[in-house]
Amino acid sequence: MKITPRVKEIHSWYSSDSPGTLTNIARLLGTGRLGGTGKLVILPVDQGFEHGPARSFAPNPAGYDPDYHFQLAVDAGCNAYAAPLGFLEAGAARFAGQIPLILKLNNSDSLAKLEQPISAITGSVDEALRLGCAAIGYTIYPGSGARNRQYEDLRALTEEAKRKGLAVVVWSYPRGAGVSKDGETAVDVAGYAAQIAAQLGAHVIKVKPPTEHIEQDAARKVYEVEGIKIATLADRIAHVVQSAFAGRRIVIFSGGAAKGTEGVLEEVRGIAAGGGFGSIMGRNAFQRPRAEAIELLHAVMDAYRAKA
Amino acid sequence: MKITPRVKEIHSWYSSDSPGTLTNIARLLGTGRLGGTGKLVILPVDQGFEHGPARSFAPNPAGYDPDYHFQLAVDAGCNAYAAPLGFLEAGAARFAGQIPLILKLNNSDSLAKLEQPISAITGSVDEALRLGCAAIGYTIYPGSGARNRQYEDLRALTEEAKRKGLAVVVWSYPRGAGVSKDGETAVDVAGYAAQIAAQLGAHVIKVKPPTEHIEQDAARKVYEVEGIKIATLADRIAHVVQSAFAGRRIVIFSGGAAKGTEGVLEEVRGIAAGGGFGSIMGRNAFQRPRAEAIELLHAVMDAYRAKA
Amino acid sequence: MKITPRVKEIHSWYSSDSPGTLTNIARLLGTGRLGGTGKLVILPVDQGFEHGPARSFAPNPAGYDPDYHFQLAVDAGCNAYAAPLGFLEAGAARFAGQIPLILKLNNSDSLAKLEQPISAITGSVDEALRLGCAAIGYTIYPGSGARNRQYEDLRALTEEAKRKGLAVVVWSYPRGAGVSKDGETAVDVAGYAAQIAAQLGAHVIKVKPPTEHIEQDAARKVYEVEGIKIATLADRIAHVVQSAFAGRRIVIFSGGAAKGTEGVLEEVRGIAAGGGFGSIMGRNAFQRPRAEAIELLHAVMDAYRAKA
Amino acid sequence: MKITPRVKEIHSWYSSDSPGTLTNIARLLGTGRLGGTGKLVILPVDQGFEHGPARSFAPNPAGYDPDYHFQLAVDAGCNAYAAPLGFLEAGAARFAGQIPLILKLNNSDSLAKLEQPISAITGSVDEALRLGCAAIGYTIYPGSGARNRQYEDLRALTEEAKRKGLAVVVWSYPRGAGVSKDGETAVDVAGYAAQIAAQLGAHVIKVKPPTEHIEQDAARKVYEVEGIKIATLADRIAHVVQSAFAGRRIVIFSGGAAKGTEGVLEEVRGIAAGGGFGSIMGRNAFQRPRAEAIELLHAVMDAYRAKA
Amino acid sequence: MKITPRVKEIHSWYSSDSPGTLTNIARLLGTGRLGGTGKLVILPVDQGFEHGPARSFAPNPAGYDPDYHFQLAVDAGCNAYAAPLGFLEAGAARFAGQIPLILKLNNSDSLAKLEQPISAITGSVDEALRLGCAAIGYTIYPGSGARNRQYEDLRALTEEAKRKGLAVVVWSYPRGAGVSKDGETAVDVAGYAAQIAAQLGAHVIKVKPPTEHIEQDAARKVYEVEGIKIATLADRIAHVVQSAFAGRRIVIFSGGAAKGTEGVLEEVRGIAAGGGFGSIMGRNAFQRPRAEAIELLHAVMDAYRAKA
C-alpha cells in the first residue's frame, strides 16, 4: 500500500478513529492504480439484487458469475470492490488479499412495493470481518418516512464497525415522500445528503452528481442571497464536497445509468474538476465487454489522477 | 457418504463456508440414491401446517403419522427430509442418522388472512442442532410488503446457522402486492427470486418451475434485446440456474400441486434438461400410496441421474 | 406417580425431549384419580382474568379465594391445576408438591377491544420454575391477523421451557378475521388447530369439541371425496385426535360454558368414545358447589377411565 | 418497623415471595402512624408530570420543591411516598431511610394525544434500587387498545422487581376504547381492574372508589342473579376487595380530584367500612397548606385505624 | 475548573448522582468565562443536520469546517460545545481537554415528513465516552404522538449515562398533534416541558423563551385563579425555572432564529432577570463573522454574570 503524504493528510481528518479503522482507510486509499493519490474508483455490483439478474447481467453474461467482478476490479486496478453478502461469499476466499472488499449491509429488490423506501439489512459487521472486508457499506434514503429506522440501524452498525476496526461507506440517496423526483438529485438536497452521512459518522460518502435544481424553498433563498455557485457540474461538486465538513470527508459520486463512454468521461471530468474524490462505477463497467470496461475504468482513473 | 469429484466441485463454490457447513452440504449431496451425483431429491412435508391435516393427509391417511414420512424418505432414497418442528421432533430420535434433516424455520397456515404474506418463525437454529439437522429451511416471499422483516430474519438465522456449521436452504416464492398472480411464476421473477436467495447467502435455493410469462416491463426489454431463450421449460430452467451465480449455487425446483405421474415426470425431465439440480417433492409423493410414491420418486431420481 | 405401560407408550411419542421434560409429562399423567391411565382431567381457572371476577366467582363465592381451586383440584383428584401468575403465586408454596401446576403464560381480559385477537404475555418460563410448575400453558388464536406474533412468542417460550425441563400445553382456539363465528368450532378448523399446535411443538393440546360444520371450501372437497366421518361427536373427536400426529400427541378438550351435569357428561362420553385424552374443565367445576363439583369431576374421570 | 400479628398475617398471603420482597412489604406496612395496623396511607406526587406543574403546585407553591413532599410524607406519618424518577432523585439521598419510597415507573403527560392510552416507561427496577426504594409503581389502563404492551412491560418489570427483592404496586385505571367514561369507575369494572392487577402479580393494588354503575352487560346479569350488594360505597369497596383474591391482596383507593375536607373524609370512612386497606392521597394533601394537609392526613389515618 | 460555593450549591441539588456525574456537571459549570458563576453559555451546532449545510453555514462559510466551532467555543469562553456525532468526531482528538463536549444523541433532518415529530437516535453513551464528552444531549417533543418512544429511549440513555458518569442535557421542545403552533412556546407549555424533562432525570434542561400565550384550558384557569405572573419575559422565565423543581434544576434557554444583536441581548437580559441559568446559542453565534460572534457571546455572558 502506498502511504503517501496525501493519505496521511486524509488520515488526519479521522483522528477519532482507531488504528484498525485507519488501517482499513489506508487499504482503500492505498490500493490500485490510484493508490496513494487520495482518489478512488470503486466497483460496486449490487444491481443483481436491486434490479434483477437479467437486467444486470444479460448485456454481458460473464457477469452472472461472481468471480468475474472480483477479477474485473483487480485487473482494472480499482481501489475496492463492493457487493452484497452472496456475491462476496462466492469469491472472498479465492481472491483473499487481492483487493479491499466492502460488504453492502442493506439492499432492496424491485419486486416489492413498500410504503416508504427502506432497504432490508442483509449483512452484518461480523460477516464483513469473516469475509476479510475493509469496510461496510450502507444505503440511507433521506426524505423517506422510514428515515429513523435507517439512521438508527446505521448508527448501531457504524459504532460496531468502528469498534471492530472497519471503515464505513454510506450511500446517501434522497428518496421518498419528503422529496420530489427532481429533488432527488437537486444540488441543495445532494449537499444535505452528504452532510447527513458525515454527521452520522461515515468515512466515505457516496452521492449522485447533482443537478442545478434546488428543491427546498428555505434553501433557495440562501443559495441566492449568499451567491453559492451552482452553474457548472464542477461548481456543484465543489459545493457538495464543502457540505461534507469543508472537504474533510471522502465524497465520491455514482456513475449512474449505463451510457456512452464520452458521457461517462465528461461527467467524471466535472466531478474531478470540482474536487470530488472519485467514482463508484457499476453498470458502466460490468455491462461493457471486459476489455472495454477496463479501458473505460482506466480513463476514469486518469481523469482523477490529473486532478490529484 | 459419497464424496465424488462432483461433490468436491460443488464444495468449491462455497469456499467461504466453515468445515462444519461443508460437512452438512456433503451430507445433503452424499446421501440416497442420487448420492454423489450432485443432484438432489428432497421430501418436504409442511403441508399439514400450510394447508391443514385433512387436505394434506386424508388422501393417504398413513401420512397423519410423522414417522411415515421419515420412513418414506429413507426407503425412497431421498437426499433429505424437510419438515416443521413438530414433525421432526416426533421422529428425530427414532430415525437419528438415517437421513439428513432440514428444519423448516418458518411456516404459514391458511386460516389467517394477513395484509401482506409473511410466515411465522416456528423454529430456531438451536432447535435444528438439537434435532441433529443438516440444514435449516426458510421461506421468503419476494414481492411482499413485509419483505424486509423476512430478509432480516433470514439474515440473522443464516449468520447463526453458518456459525454453527449448518447449511441453509431458502424457499424463494414471489408473492404479495408487488407481483401479479401470473407473475409469481414468471420467468423473470423466478430468476430474480433465485438471485435474491443467492445474494442473501443461501446454499440451496428452491423456486417454482417458471412459465414463459414476463412480469416486469423493465425486464421484458432486456429479455427481448438480449435474446434470452425462454421458449421451453429447459430454456427457462437454464436461465434460472444461471441467475443464481452462473450455476454456482444449488437450485432445485418444487413439484407443485398433486398431479398425474406422467405430468410430474415430464416436468422433471425439463428441469433436468435445463440443468436444474433436483426436485423437492411433497404432495406428489406422500399423497400417493407408499409403493406408488417410491416408484415415482425413483423415476424422478432416474431422470436426474440421466443428466448428472 | 404411576408410571404404567401406557405412560411409557406415551413417553415414546416424545422421544426428542429431555429427561426433565419427560419427568414433568409423567407428573401430569401419573397424578390423580386417572394417574397412569393416559387420560387427564385438568382444572383451569383463568376466567377471573378472562371474564372478570364477578362473572366467574359470584355463582360460588368460595372461588374468589385462590386457595379454593388448589384444594378443589387436589380433592377431586385432577391431574393438574392451571392458572395465571397471580392465582398460582397465591398458593404455590402452601400446596407445594400436592398437584402438578401449569402456569398460563398469556391472558386476555374482556375489557379491551383489540383489532385482532391476541393475549398479553403475563408470565415467563422462569416464573413457572420459581413456582414449581410442571408445565407452561399458552393460548394461540389461529385465524387471527396477529397470528405471527403469537406463534413466534410461543416458539421462543417452548424452546426455553423444553431446555429447562418443562412440558408445554397449548390452548389452540381459532378466532379472528380469518374464521367465521361458526368456523371457530368447525371440524376442519378444529383438526387444523390441533395440527398447528402439534407442529409448533406442544406436548399437550387443548381444543374445543368440534361441530359438524366445515369452514374452508378447499377442505370441504377433501372431506367429501375422502369420506371422512364427522357425523357423531365421537367421529369428529377421532378425526381431531388423528389430526394431531395420528394420535401421537395428547389432545384434550374444553368443557365450554357452564351447563347441566348431564350435558357435560354426555359430551365427555363422546370425547372419550372418540379417543380424546381428557378434559380441561373450569366453570363447570368451580362454579358448582364444592361437593357437586367433585361429584361431577369424578363422573367425568370415570367416563375416561372406562375408555382407557 | 412494627411487625405485628396482622403484618404477619398479610405476609402469609405472599408466601411465594422472597425474604427481600417480604422485607419491603413489611417496610410499607410497618412505617408511619398506621404502622403495624395493616392499613396504609401513601402520598403520591406524579401530578407535575401528569397534569403539569402549574395545575399541580400553584395552589400551594411550596410543592414545586421536591423536598417538600418528602418532608410532608414523613411529618404526616405516611406509610410511603411515591413519585416519578426526577422527584425521587431530588431528595432520595437527603431523606434516605426516613420513609419507604415507591418509584413510579411509567407516566403520561397531558400534552400529547395518543390513539389509545398508554404511559411511557420513565424508570427502571435498577433505578428503584439505586434510589433505595421499597417498591416499584406502574399504571395499567385495562380497556385500552394498547393493553398488551402495558401488561407485558409490567410483567417483565414485576418479575425483575421480585427477583431483586422489591414490592410491586399497580395503579389499575380502566380507560380507553373498551370502556365508556362512566364505565371507568363502574363497580364491575373496578372489581375487574383489581382482579387483573392481582393476576398480574401485584402486591399492592390501587383502584378508584367505584360507583353504582355497571358497565358490561354480561356482568350485569350476574350482579342481579347473584344479588351482589353494591348499594353503598362500603358494599362496593367490599366487593372490590373480594375481587382481589377474596381480600388476600392489599387494595387501596385513590383520593381523586381535590375536594372539601368533609367530602374526603366521608369517602374514606366508606372505604374503611368496606374493608379497604387504605388510601393514596395526592392533590388533596399537597395542594392544601401544610398544616391543613397534615391534619387531613391524620384524620384519614384515624378513620382507617378505627377499622383496623 | 472553578468549584465555587455556587457550584457546590448546585451540586447539592443532584445528591443522587455519582461522583463521576458530579465531576462532569462541575466541568460544565466550571469552564469558560462564566466558570464558577453557576451560569452557562453553550455553543450548539446541529443545524447542519437539522436544516442542511447551506442554510446553516453559507452565511459564514468558515462554519462548514467542524474545527471552526470547537475553536469558536474555546475562544469565546463558552461552558461547552454540543454537536452530533460527525461534528464531534472530526475534532474531538485535536481539541481534547480544551472544552467540555456534549454529544447530541438524536437528530432530525428537514427532508423527511414524518407523521408525528420524532428524531432519529444518531449516537450512543459509549460514543460519548469514546469522544471524551462530559454529557449527552437528547431532544424530546412533548405533544408528539410519538412521545412514548422518545421518553423511553431517553430513559434508557439517561440511566446508562448516569451509570457511566456522564451528565444529561435535555432539549424539551413541545411539538406535534397535541399542541398548536402558538402553543409550542406558550408559557404553560414551556413550564410543563421543563417539568417533564426534570421528572425524566435531566441535569440540564433547555427550553425556548416562553410567550404570554396560554395553551391548555385546564391550565388557564389556574394561572388566573392563582395569579401567576406572566406579563414580562422575566416573569415567565421565573415561572419556568420554578416549574423545574423550584429552581433546583439547571434551566437554560435557546437563542432562537438568527436576529440582530440588540434583539439577542434584550432577550438574554430578560432571561437573566428571571433567573435563567444561561443560553444555548447556535445560529446567532456561528452565522456571524468570528470576531462579531465572540463579541456577542461575551456580551451575553456579561449579562448573565451581572445576575450571578
- For chains C and D, CB pairs below 8 A equal 130
Set of cell numbers at residue C8: 411409557
Residue C78 sits at φ, ψ, to 5 deg, of -70, 160
C-alpha grid cell for residue A52? Answer: 434483477
* C124 contacts chain D (CB < 8 A): yes
Neighbours of A242 (CB within 10 A): 25
CB atoms within 10 A of CB E67: 16
Nearest CA in chain A to B155: A122
Cα angle A220, A224, A228 (rounded to 5 degrees) comes to 100
D55 and E15: CB-CB below 8 Å?
A: no
CA distance C87 to chain B (A): 30
Query: What gap in Å lies between CA E24 and CA E168, rounded to an integer?
Result: 10
pLDDT along chain C (308 residues), means of 10: 92 97 98 98 98 98 98 98 98 98 98 95 98 98 98 98 98 97 98 98 98 97 97 98 98 84 95 98 96 98 95
Residue corresponding to grid cell 456537571: E25
Nearest chain A residue to B192 by CA distance is A52
Please list the pLDDT of chain D residue by residue as tens digits (308 residues). 789 999 999 999 999 999 999 999 999 999 999 999 999 999 999 999 999 999 999 999 999 999 999 999 999 999 999 999 999 999 999 999 999 999 999 999 999 989 999 999 999 999 999 999 999 999 999 999 999 999 999 999 999 999 999 999 999 999 999 999 999 999 999 999 999 999 999 999 999 999 999 999 999 999 999 999 999 999 999 999 999 999 999 999 997 676 789 999 999 999 999 999 999 999 999 999 999 999 999 999 999 999 98
- Selecting among D39, D162, D206, D208, the annotated active-site residue is D206
Model pLDDT for residues C145-158, shown as the tens digit of each residue: 999 999 999 999 99
Least Cα separation, residue E69 to chain A (angstroms): 11
pLDDT tens digits, E152-197: 999 999 999 999 999 999 999 999 999 999 999 999 999 999 999 9
**Looking at CA atoms only, how far is residue C82 from chain D in angstroms?**
13
What the block records as the C-alpha cell of E141 is: 417533543
How does pLDDT run across D119-149, given as a tens digit for each residue?
999 999 999 999 999 999 999 999 999 999 9
**Grid cell in block for residue B137:** 429451511
Residues from chain A that touch B199, judged by Cβ atoms under 8 A, are 48-49, 84-87, 107, 122
CB pairs under 8 A between A and E: 131
**Spatial CA neighbour of A135 closest among A107, A165, A90, A95:** A165
Chains D and B touch, contact meaning at least 3 pairs of CB atoms under 8 angstroms apart: no
Residue D219 forms contact with C (CB below 8 Å): yes
Instruction: Look over chain A and give the mean of its residue pLDDT values, rounded to a whole number.
Output: 97
Neighboring chains of E (3 or more beta-carbon pairs < 8 A):
A, D
Residue A126 pLDDT: 98
- Distance of alpha carbon C36 from alpha carbon C48, whole angstroms: 31
* Residue that has been written with the C-alpha cell 362512566 in this structure: D182
Q: Which three cell numbers stand for residue B96?
A: 437419528
D217 touches chain C (CB under 8 A): no
Which residues in D lie closer than 8 A to residue C55 (C-beta atoms)?
A: 218-219, 222
Cell numbers of C130, please? 420459581
E246 touches chain A (CB under 8 A): no
> What pLDDT, on a 0 to 100 scale, did the predictor assign at position B255?
77
pLDDT of residue A160: 98
Read off the C-alpha cell for B177.
402486492
Chains that touch D (3 or more CB pairs under 8 A): C, E
Say yes or no for a CB contact (<8 Å) between C151 and B122. yes
pLDDT at B121: 98
The pLDDT of residue C1 is 73
User: Contacts of residue E176 in chain D, CB cutoff 8 Å?
Assistant: 112
pLDDT at E1 over 90: no
List all residues of chain E from 84 to 103 with a beta carbon under 8 Å from chain A: 84-90, 92-94
Q: Which helix (H) or strand (E) holds C286?
A: helix C283-286
The grid coordinates listed for A149 are: 429506522
Sort out which chain D residues have CB atoms less than 8 A from E195's CB and list them.
48-49, 52-53
The residue count for chain E: 308
Q: Do D114 and E148 touch (CB under 8 A)?
A: yes
Determine whether the interchain pair A219/E55 forms a contact, defined as Cβ–Cβ distance below 8 Å. yes
CB neighbour class for E229 (10 Å; exposed up to 12, middle 13-18, buried from 19): exposed
Measured CA angle at D13 (ends D11, D19), to 5 deg = 45
Average pLDDT over residues B86-90: 98
Distance of CA E261 to the CA centre of its chain: 20
Amino acid at E65: D
Q: Nearest Cα to D1, choosing from D21, D34, D24, D26?
A: D26
Active-site pick, A39, A104, A206, A208: A206
**Shortest CA distance to D53 belongs to which of E176, E169, E249, E119?**
E249
Q: Which pLDDT score, from 0 to 100, does residue A176 have?
A: 97
Please name the helix (run of DSSP H) or strand (run of DSSP E) that holds residue E234, with its range, or none.
helix E233-243
DSSP D60-106: SGGGGSHHHHHHHHHHHT-SEEEE-HHHHHHHTTTTTTTS-EEEE-E
pLDDT for B1: 73
Please indicate whether, in this complex, the C-beta atoms of B54 and C188 are within 8 angstroms of each other. Answer: yes
pTM passes above 0.90: yes
pLDDT at A258 over 80: no
What phi-psi label fits residue C160: left (phi over 0), alpha (psi between -120 and 50 degrees) or beta?
alpha
Q: Does A18 touch chain E (CB under 8 A)?
A: no
Distance CA E43, CA E76 (A): 9
pLDDT band at E2 (very low <50, low <70, confident <90, very high): confident
Which residues of C fall within a CB distance of 8 Å from B94?
A: 15
**D174 contacts D198 by C-beta, under 8 angstroms:** no
- Which residues of B are part of the catalytic machinery? 206
> What is the pLDDT, as a whole number, of residue D258?
67
Do the beta carbons of residue B33 and residue B70 sit within 8 Å? no
- The stretch A52-59 carries a mean pLDDT of 98
Mutating which of D56, D111, D136 best tests the E interface, going by the most E Cβ atoms within 10 A? D111
Q: Which of D261-265, E238-242, E255-259 has the lowest mean pLDDT?
A: E255-259
Choose the closest CB to A112 out of B143, B198, B222: B143
Nearest CA in chain D to E247: D65
Q: Which of C206, C208, C221, C229 is catalytic?
A: C206
Distance from CA of C19 to the nearest CA of B (A): 13
Nearest chain D residue to E183 by CA distance is D111
What residue of E is the nearest CA neighbor of A196? E49
Reported as a pLDDT band with limits 50, 70 and 90, residue A259 is confident
DSSP string for chain A:
----HHHHHHHHTTTTS-HHHHHHHHHHHHSSTTTTTT-EEEEE--HHHHH-HHHHHTTSGGGGSHHHHHHHHHHHT-SEEEE-HHHHHHHTTTTTTTS-EEEE-EE--SS---SS--PEE---HHHHHHTT-SEEEEEE-TT-TTHHHHHHHHHHHHHHHHHTT-EEEEEE---STTS-TGGGG-HHHHHHHHHHHHHTT-SEEEEPPP-S----HHHHHHHHHTT---SSHHHHHHHHHHHTTTTTSEEEEE--S---HHHHHHHHHHHHHTT--EEE-SHHHHTS-HHHHHHHHHHHHHHHHHT-
Decide if E226 and D122 are in contact by the 8 Å CB cutoff.
no
Query: What is chain D's mean pLDDT, rounded?
Result: 97
Concatenated DSSP letters of E273-294 = HTT--EEE-SHHHHTS-HHHHH
Q: Which residues pair with C250 in a beta bridge?
A: C204
DSSP symbol at C287: T
Angle of helix E19-30 relative to helix E5-13, nearest 10 degrees? Answer: 140
Give the chain E residue whose CA is nearest to the CA of D96. Answer: E16
pLDDT of residue A223: 98
Contacts of D11 in chain C (CB under 8 A): none
Cβ of residue D257 closer than 8 Å to a chain E Cβ: no
pLDDT at B277 over 90: yes
**Interface residue A58 vs chain B (CB under 8 A):** yes
- What are B139's strand-pairing partners? B171
Residues of B in contact with A71 (CB under 8 A): none
The 3 state secondary structure assigned to chain B is CCCCHHHHHHHHCCCCCCHHHHHHHHHHHHCCCCCCCCCEEEEECCHHHHHCHHHHHCCCHHHHCHHHHHHHHHHHCCCEEEECHHHHHHHCCCCCCCCCEEEECEECCCCCCCCCCCCEECCCHHHHHHCCCCEEEEEECCCCCCHHHHHHHHHHHHHHHHHCCCEEEEEECCCCCCCCCHHHHCHHHHHHHHHHHHHCCCCEEEECCCCCCCCCHHHHHHHHHCCCCCCCHHHHHHHHHHHCCCCCCEEEEECCCCCCHHHHHHHHHHHHHCCCCEEECCHHHHCCCHHHHHHHHHHHHHHHHHHC
pLDDT of residue B258: 67
Residues D275 and C98: their CA atoms lie apart, in Å, by 32
Q: Which amino acid type is present at position A57?
A: F
Distance of CA C41 to the CA centre of its chain: 9
| Residues in chain E closer than 8 A to D111 (CB atoms) | 142-143, 147, 174, 178-179, 189, 192, 216
Whether residues B16 and A120 touch (CB distance < 8 A) is answered with no
